[in-house]
Every structure is written in C-alpha cells, then in structure tokens.
C-alpha cells in the first residue's frame, strides 16, 4: 500500500506542476463561470466550485507533503554522502535535522560567522 501511494503521489505531483494541469483547471473555472447565468448564480452553482476546490486542495496537501518529505530525505542522504566523503567535515552535522531549534540556531550562527571570515 505504501509503495502504491508513493507512486501515485509522485505521478500526480509531477502532473499538477505542468502547464496541462493549469490549463485543465483554467478550463474548469471558465466553464463554471459560463454556467453561472444558466444556473442563475444559485447557491448550488457556488457550492459546486467550493466543494470541488476544497476536495482537490485537501488531497493535494497530502500528496505534495509526501513528495516533499521524500525529496527532503533524499537530499539529506546526498548531503550525508558528501559530508562523509570530506576528510575535514564534521560528521555531527549529518544529524542536524534532528536537533532542537536552539541548537540549530547556535550551529547556524557558528557557520554564518565562519562564512563571513
């Protein structure tokens, strides 16, 4: 089930970032606007677009978050590999994403000072 969701999330996430997806959304909205006078701008007419956009938004939050989480994990793995490949690198930095905010702030401040030298 997890692998199935990952594949679907990746495909949907890739598709919704295309111009085709934007054009489909635009066509739906234009069709909805054009149908307004036909349905006399009724409450049901408004409810259709509100319900549709709410459902799509709700589902997209989970799909985008899943994709972003996977990409972040992959990025951390790649960075960990680069850190391990460097002789002078501090391996303790590899687990920085697990530190408390205060420790991250201190670490960031230290590296900013080093970068400004």
Structure tokens at 41: 């701008």
SS (H, E, C) the chain: CHHHHHHHHHHHHHHHCCHHHHHHHHHHHHHHHHHHHHCCCCHHHHHHHHHHHHHHHHHHHHHHHHHHHHHHHHHHHHHHHHHHHCCCCCHHHHHHHHCCHHHHHHHHHHHHHHHHC
Cβ-Cβ contacts under 8 Å for 12 (sequence gap 6 or more): 63
* Mean pLDDT, range 65-76, rounded to an integer: 90
Residue 42 burial class via C-beta count within 10 angstroms: exposed 0-12, middle 13-18, buried 19 and up: exposed
**Residue 18, φ and ψ in degrees, nearest 5:** -100, 165
Cα(29)–Cα(38) distance, integer angstroms: 15
* Mean pLDDT, range 79-106, rounded to an integer: 84
Percentage of residues in the chain having pLDDT higher than 90: 47
Give the model's pLDDT for residue 81: 86
Higher-pLDDT residue of 93, 26: 26
Structure tokens at 7: 């594949």
């Amino acid at each position: 089930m997890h692998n199935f969701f990952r594949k679907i999330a990746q495909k949907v996430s890739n598709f919704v970032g295309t111009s085709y997806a934007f054009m489909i959304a635009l066509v739906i909205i234009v069709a909805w606007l054009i149908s307004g006078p036909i349905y006399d701008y009724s409450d049901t007419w408004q409810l259709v677009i509100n319900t549709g956009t709410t459902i799509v938004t709700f589902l997209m939050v989970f799909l985008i978050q899943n994709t972003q989480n996977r990409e972040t994990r992959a990025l951390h793995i790649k960075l960990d590999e680069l850190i391990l490949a460097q002789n002078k690198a501090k391996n303790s930095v590899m687990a920085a994403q697990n530190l408390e905010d205060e420790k991250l702030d201190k670490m960031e401040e230290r590296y900013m000072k080093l970068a400004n030298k």
